[in-house]
């Protein structure tokens, strides 16, 4: 049959399809598809090229049939025809083949939306990826493929809850919008994707709000998309209003959600969002009118939602009822009914168990409260296992703060301090537990072609898909067992022994074998301390260590750090007095004969100098009563000890005042470095000074030495601790992420250091997103493979630091003290050493002309010139 006949049939089919586009009648669409099918059958006898295009047109027609409401079977036809087109179009030119791939990918996503076949998403990702590969970046078909790939990644996130897919979707849609600035669909999609991502990464919230506002302004008021955009914006504004206690933002959120509610396309999502915003305002301002409306709206949303999809709305109704009835009886009944109807749902259980535990706690039913909180924590632990990147595990843990604190309180109140400590440790241990690198070894067995990460992600995705689809219980159990089996295999890899494994009480006792652990937890009404020894555990209540009080002191310290002058020094002194009264005094009363502890402070308490607490009326500091070192969690000490026992402390690499533009000079950097190097053999020490202290040099050398001493500036990023960094030559930043991701550092291994001394500004400031970790450089270094870290909480005076570090090395290398004891002894000495003694011992660090003038000469020399805590209390020791 000549090619002309195929062309004639194709022309007739297009004409019939145009009629269908006008009429919307099924018979017109069927006429077009019959013509294309005939053309396809003829073309397959003579030309695969023509056949490929006929199959593609059949696929497009089938998609339009589904869009016109003719049934989901049209999507099956569309996918089948587009797949055939891709197969027949194998030898096509890149642009033509890209079109076939993109159409197939779009049909697959349409079918996933209608039928939720997970395989369709993976096939769509592959199709779009191949289309992008075939085209130059930012060309028409590359951009269309990238847009499709972004949506496919978004759906993959929905299936797996692995945020990396969502992050990738945002990056792709951002690139699409940059390539097509007027693309309203891409703008709206980017705003919604950013809104989703901001649920995991709060730094994205501001960008998401901006994009949503831009999309709303560009979208006609009559467009149904306005409801989705307004609801997303209102929800983000509500979250921001809660975070910042900003009534103006809350009012804007309510206005936005009211506008969505009035739209003809209003749905239950905007009702729920408006209810939440009104609930927040009602609680904040004790407004019964707002609470009445919030309850009415959420009940309406529940009524309009199919029974199987009401769980999240019912949880919100419980929160509204609880705020109206402090006894929480009706709310508790709702929560229990949800749990009865929910099995193996790691997203629902934490949201229900938290408030249910709080109600039981208020009513004095401590066993019930503990059981509820523990169930929520177990479910959250399973959710955390789906996140292979530490950043997102931290954000999940931030959402778990109430569960962790509630469980610890409930166990303590029921007389079980060991379980209280375990509850705290369980939350803290996970964020610093081992992540899976893409370069890690392979697992043998059924998944021998996968890297560890890929194998685990594959099994985890299968489990998440079954849970999302409410699959049969035995299928979910089987998938979970496969995932557990994979985790057990991973635990056999050196360095991953604790992967996804909750701590046991025996782990804590082992961690406390050398020195007791002291967990410190600020709570809403009173603080809690739990002392864990190798034999037992005990509770010490701290009535004045409330979350509000600790937050106030942390805010004062943060302001002082901005200008550590006379006012800053006074603030440090005042914080020390508060710590002495609120924390140290009750601790000393409860510790008995214990005089050495590893403090594990929770929340913002992790950023305060506990060792500088000043006892009321005596002027004595905590260092005079206790030897305090620190750890981000108990389990980290076990790994730190293994490193300590394996790594000799006989070599030193120092980073000395890199040539960093814009950084203040460190006049005492060189004398301090010389003081450290004198204790190490010349052939076993190396100095990177000035221009030589580059990022490349540090990464190349750090693996060859057992001690790292950095005399340089640093930056702390509390909102993203992985970006905390040492400032090197040329302004290069050596971040915690660089070390964690081992960029050129070690091949298939891990960093191993006996000690890292960070003699730099603010290297121990903890995270703000996850304040339950001292998650700056020190804790990250412990997780990366360092046994012990000396770091600072605030900007440190140059000369005072040099004196303290010189004394520290003398205590360690000459007197034989362990590093933690050496720092403690150096701080005690410095708090009382006179100017005369310092000059006699360390004349190269302190000259007569450096002594402040004033008063009688003898009084000046007899004074402890560096005894103020601002000079020594900034430094903390983490690890062993």
pLDDT at 474 over 70: yes
pLDDT at residue 769, as a whole number: 38
Q: Which of 463-477, 498-512, 678-692, 830-844 has the highest mean pLDDT?
A: 678-692
**In the chain, % of residues over pLDDT 70:** 88
Output the CA–CA distances (angstroms, integers) from residue 662 to 26, 594, 713, 727, 802, in the order listed.
71, 47, 11, 11, 22
Binning pLDDT at 50, 70 and 90, where does residue 614 land?
A: very high
Its sign, for the CA torsion 281, 209, 387, 602, is: negative
- Rounded to whole angstroms, how far apart are CA atoms 161 and 433? 19
pLDDT at 775 over 70: no
- Rounded to whole angstroms, how far apart are CA atoms 466 and 63? 27
- Which residue intervals of 245-307 are DSSP H helices? 247-262, 268-285, 288-303
Radius of gyration in angstroms for the set of CA atoms belonging to the chain, rounded to a whole number: 32
pLDDT at residue 394, as a whole number: 46
pLDDT at residue 567, as a whole number: 85
pLDDT at 749 over 60: no
| Phi, psi (degrees; rounded to nearest 5) at 129 | -60, -45
Chain centroid to CA 199: 11
Long-range contacts of 448-457 (CB under 8 A, 24+ apart): 452/490, 452/493, 453/388, 455/486, 456/388, 456/483, 456/486, 456/487, 456/490, 457/160, 457/162, 457/388
pLDDT at residue 72, as a whole number: 86
DSSP secondary structure, 321-353, as one string = HHHH-TT-HHHHHHHHHHHHH--S-TTHHHHHH
CB count in 10 Å sphere of residue 262: 11
pLDDT at 628 over 50: yes
pLDDT at 314 over 70: yes
Q: Which of 427-436, 543-552, 722-731 has the highest mean pLDDT?
A: 543-552
- Residue 583 in contact with residue 608, Cβ under 8 Å? no
pLDDT at 608 over 80: yes
Binning pLDDT at 50, 70 and 90, where does residue 307 land?
A: confident
pLDDT per position as a tens digit, 236-262: 999 999 988 899 999 999 999 999 999
pLDDT at residue 304, as a whole number: 95
- Residue 383 in contact with residue 451, Cβ under 8 Å? no
CB count in 10 Å sphere of residue 250: 22
Binning pLDDT at 50, 70 and 90, where does residue 669 land?
A: confident
pLDDT per position as a tens digit, 144-178: 999 999 999 999 988 877 788 999 999 999 999 99
CA atoms within 13 A on the CB side of 623: 26
Q: What is the pTM of this model?
A: 0.80
Long-range contacts of 672-675 (CB under 8 A, 24+ apart): 672/711, 672/759, 672/801, 672/802, 672/805, 672/806, 673/709, 673/711, 675/802, 675/805, 675/806, 675/809, 675/842, 675/845
- Rounded to whole angstroms, how far apart are CA atoms 756 and 746? 17
- Rounded to whole angstroms, how far apart are CA atoms 128 and 126? 6
pLDDT higher for 844 or 763? Answer: 844
**Is CATH 3.30.420 the right assignment for the domain spanning 507-630?**
yes
Chain centroid to CA 657: 32
Residue 359 in tokens:
């109600």
Least confident of 42-51, 519-528, 640-649, 849-858: 849-858
CB contact set of 406 (below 8 Å; sequence gap of 6+)? 354, 357, 358, 361, 369, 373
Binning pLDDT at 50, 70 and 90, where does residue 395 land?
A: very low
Q: Which residue has the tokens 């509500």?
A: 238
pLDDT higher for 653 or 603? Answer: 653
DSSP classification of residue 742: T
What integer is the mean pLDDT of 702-731? 82
**Residue-range domain boundaries for the chain:** 345-433, 507-630, 635-879
Output the CA–CA distances (angstroms, integers) from residue 308 to 312, 313, 341, 571, in the order listed.
11, 11, 10, 56
Binning pLDDT at 50, 70 and 90, where does residue 854 land?
A: low
Binning pLDDT at 50, 70 and 90, where does residue 855 land?
A: very low
CB contact set of 875 (below 8 Å; sequence gap of 6+)? 790, 791, 792, 793, 796, 804, 823, 827
Residue 64 in tokens:
């339009």
pLDDT higher for 771 or 566? Answer: 566
- Rounded to whole angstroms, how far apart are CA atoms 256 and 253? 5
Decide whether 507-630 matches 635-879 in CATH topology.
no
Tell me the average pLDDT of the chain: 87
Residue 827 in tokens:
């701080």
- Residue 704 in contact with residue 748, Cβ under 8 Å? no
635-879 sits in which CATH class? alpha beta
What integer is the mean pLDDT of 851-861? 55
pLDDT at 107 over 90: yes
Question: Apex CA 103: angle with CA 127 and CA 194, to 5°?
Answer: 70
DSSP classification of residue 532: E
pLDDT at residue 379, as a whole number: 82
CA atoms within 13 A on the CB side of 428: 32
- Rounded to whole angstroms, how far apart are CA atoms 489 and 757? 35
Least confident of 202-206, 558-562, 715-719, 724-728: 715-719
pLDDT per position as a tens digit, 413-472: 999 999 999 999 987 765 555 444 433 445 555 554 456 666 777 777 777 777 666 677
- Residue 212 in contact with residue 227, Cβ under 8 Å? no
Query: How many helices and strands, by DSSP H and E, does the chain display?
Result: 37, 14
Binning pLDDT at 50, 70 and 90, where does residue 128 land?
A: very high
| Phi, psi (degrees; rounded to nearest 5) at 181 | -55, -30
Least confident of 426-435, 450-459, 727-736, 805-814: 426-435
């Amino acid at each position: 049959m000549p090619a002309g006949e195929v062309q004639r049939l194709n022309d007739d089919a297009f004409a019939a399809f145009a009629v269908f586009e006008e009429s919307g009648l099924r018979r017109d669409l069927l006429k077009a598809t019959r013509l294309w099918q005939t053309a396809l059958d003829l073309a397959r006898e003579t030309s695969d090229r023509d056949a490929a295009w006929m199959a593609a047109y059949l696929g497009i027609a089938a998609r339009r049939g589904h869009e016109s409401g003719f049934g989901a079977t049209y999507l099956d036809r569309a996918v089948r025809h587009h797949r055939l087109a891709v197969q027949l179009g194998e030898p096509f030119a890149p642009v033509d083949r890209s079109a076939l791939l993109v159409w197939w990918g779009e049909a697959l996503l349409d079918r996933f939306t209608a039928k939720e076949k997970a395989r369709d998403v993976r096939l769509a990702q592959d199709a779009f990826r191949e289309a992008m590969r075939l085209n130059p970046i930012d060309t028409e078909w590359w951009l269309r493929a990238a847009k499709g790939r972004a949506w496919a990644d978004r759906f993959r996130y929905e299936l797996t809850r692995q945020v990396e897919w969502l992050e990738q979707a945002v990056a792709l849609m951002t690139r699409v919008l940059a390539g097509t600035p007027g693309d309203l669909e891409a703008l709206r999609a980017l705003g919604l994707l950013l809104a989703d991502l901001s649920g995991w990464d709060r730094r994205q919230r501001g960008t998401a709000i901006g994009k949503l506002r831009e999309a709303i302004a560009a979208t006609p008021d009559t467009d149904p998309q306005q409801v989705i955009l307004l609801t997303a914006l209102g929800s983000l504004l509500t979250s921001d209003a809660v975070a910042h206690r900003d009534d103006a933002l809350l009012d804007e959120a309510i206005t936005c959600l009211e506008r969505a509610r009035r739209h003809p396309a209003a749905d239950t999502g905007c009702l729920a969002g408006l209810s939440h915003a009104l609930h927040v305002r009602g609680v904040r301002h004790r407004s019964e009118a707002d609470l009445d409306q919030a309850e009415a709206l959420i009940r309406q949303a529940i009524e309009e939602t199919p029974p199987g999809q009401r769980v999240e709305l019912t949880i919100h109704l419980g929160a509204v009822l609880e705020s109206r009835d402090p006894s929480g009886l009706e709310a508790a009944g709702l929560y229990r009914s949800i749990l009865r109807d929910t099995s193996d749902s790691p997203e629902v259980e934490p949201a229900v168990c938290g408030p249910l535990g709080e109600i039981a706690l208020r009513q004095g039913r401590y066993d019930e409260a503990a059981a509820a909180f523990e169930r929520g924590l177990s479910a959250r632990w399973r959710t955390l296992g789906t996140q292979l990147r530490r950043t997102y595990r931290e954000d999940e843990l931030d959402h778990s703060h109430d569960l962790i604190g509630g469980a610890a309180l409930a166990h303590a109140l029921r007389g079980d301090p060991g379980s209280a400590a375990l509850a705290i440790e369980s939350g803290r241990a996970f964020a610093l537990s081992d992540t899976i690198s893409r370069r890690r070894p392979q697992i043998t067995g059924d998944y021998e072609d996968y890297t560890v990460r890929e194998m685990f992600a594959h099994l985890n995705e299968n489990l998440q898909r079954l849970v999302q689809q409410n699959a049969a219980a035995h299928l979910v159990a089987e998938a979970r067992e496969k995932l557990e089996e994979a985790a057990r295999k991973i635990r056999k890899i050196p360095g991953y022994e604790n992967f996804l494994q909750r701590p046991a009480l025996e782990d804590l006792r082992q961690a406390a074998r050398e020195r007791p652990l002291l967990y410190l937890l600020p709570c809403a009404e009173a603080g809690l301390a739990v002392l864990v020894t190798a034999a037992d555990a005990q509770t010490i209540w701290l009535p004045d260590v409330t979350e509000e009080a600790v937050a106030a002191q942390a805010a004062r310290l943060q302001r002082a750090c901005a200008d550590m002058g006379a006012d800053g020094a006074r603030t440090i002194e005042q914080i020390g007095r508060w710590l002495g009264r609120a924390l140290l005094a009750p601790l000393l009363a409860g510790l008995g004969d214990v005089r050495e502890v590893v403090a594990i402070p929770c929340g913002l308490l992790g950023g305060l100098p506990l060792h500088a607490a000043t006892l009321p009326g005596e002027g004595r500091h905590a260092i005079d009563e206790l030897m305090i070192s620190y750890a981000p969690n108990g389990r980290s000490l076990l790994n730190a000890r293994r490193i300590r026992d394996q790594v000799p402390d006989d070599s030193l690499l120092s980073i000395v005042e890199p040539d960093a533009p814009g950084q203040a000079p460190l006049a005492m950097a060189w004398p301090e470095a010389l003081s450290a190097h004198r204790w190490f053999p010349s052939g076993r020490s190396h100095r990177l000074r000035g221009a030589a202290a580059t990022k490349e040099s540090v990464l190349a050398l750090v693996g060859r030495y057992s001690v790292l001493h950095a005399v340089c500036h640093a930056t702390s990023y509390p909102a993203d601790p992985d970006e905390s960094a040492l400032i090197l030559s040329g302004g290069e930043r050596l971040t915690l992420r660089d070390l964690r991701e081992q960029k050129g550092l070690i091949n298939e291994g891990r960093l191993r250091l006996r000690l890292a001394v960070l003699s730099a500004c603010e290297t121990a400031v903890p995270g703000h997103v996850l304040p339950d970790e001292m998650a700056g450089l020190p804790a990250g270094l412990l997780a990366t493979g360092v046994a012990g870290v000396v770091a600072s909480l605030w900007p440190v005076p140059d000369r005072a630091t040099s004196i303290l570090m010189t004394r520290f090395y003398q205590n360690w290398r000459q007197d034989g003290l362990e590093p933690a004891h050496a720092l403690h002894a150096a701080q005690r000495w410095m708090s009382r050493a006179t100017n005369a003694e310092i000059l006699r011992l360390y004349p190269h660090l302190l000259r007569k002309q450096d002594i402040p003038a004033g008063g009688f000469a003898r009084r000046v020399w007899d004074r402890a010139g560096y005894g103020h805590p601002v000079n020594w209390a900034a430094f903390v020791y983490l690890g062993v």
